[in-house]
Homo-oligomer: A and B are copies of this chain.
Amino acid sequence: MSTRQIAVLVGSLRKESFSRKVAHNLIELAPKSLELAIVEIGDLPLYNQDLETETPPQAWQAFRDRVRPAQGLLFVTPEYNRSVPGGLKNALDVGSRPYGKSVWGGKPGAIVSCSPGHIGGFGANHHLRQPMTFLNVPLLQQEAYLGSVDKLIQADGKLVPATAEFLGKFMQSFAAWVDKIAGG
């Protein structure tokens, strides 16, 4: 069975963001059948249909070219004001266009949200799910809300063991999900 390429989207642009650290852990925790790489979203101009000419912004094109060949999607995101960070939603919007050329359709996905508070980004997590129906991204129906995330990451950047174990299982489920959806 071949390796699956997974595009990882991180919802925070802060260099030392918890979400990015969690993403790096998830990449290490993943089974060998998945090859994960972060696709950056921080330099994407805000979506504006007027820019959707024959020469759209270079950053849009590069982003679309990065996501298009991926066989799965992993979202790791904080919550901004009880919803998806604007920057991450913008990446979804950019990738969904131009009309009829969405890069998302049919790719299996999974969502991990995190926050320093105790709610673990529940609001962002579920708001991110709603577009996935329209974008035809079949989602792993498992929950990963990392509350008090600042206490779950150790000085060396590694997750505490209990969380690593939890997310290791999550990534195994995701790998099985990718296999099921992407086929044999």
Which of A's residues lie within 8 Å of B, judged by CB? Answer: 12-15, 17, 42, 44, 46-50, 80-94, 96, 118-120, 122-123, 126-127, 129-139, 141-143, 145, 147, 180-181
A83 shortest CB reach to chain B, Å:
5
Picked from B82, B87, B94, B135, the residue with its CB within 8 Å of the CB of A133 is B82
Picked from B15, B81, B88, B130, the residue with its CB within 8 Å of the CB of A86 is B88
A32 shortest CB reach to chain B, Å:
23
**Interface pair B134/A143, CB less than 8 Å apart:** yes
A12 contacts across to B, CB distance below 8 A: 49
Cα(A123)–Cα(B120), bound, Å: 12
Q: Please name the residue on chain B nearest to A140 by beta carbon.
A: B138
A105 shortest CB reach to chain B, Å:
9
Q: Please name the residue on chain B nearest to A88 by beta carbon.
A: B86
Q: A82-B134, A119-B122 are in contact. Are A90 and B92 (CB under 8 A)?
A: no
Cα(A31)–Cα(B147), bound, Å: 33
Max chain B CB contacts within 10 Å: which of A89, A119, A136, A142? A89
Cα(A44)–Cα(B48), bound, Å: 13
Cα(A183)–Cα(B160), bound, Å: 36
A30 shortest CB reach to chain B, Å:
20
Cα(A12)–Cα(B97), bound, Å: 14
Q: A86-B46, A86-B93 are in contact. Are A127 and B127 (CB under 8 A)?
A: yes
Shortest 6 CB-CB contacts between residues of A and residues of B:
A86-B90, A86-B89, A13-B48, A81-B131, A46-B87, A82-B134
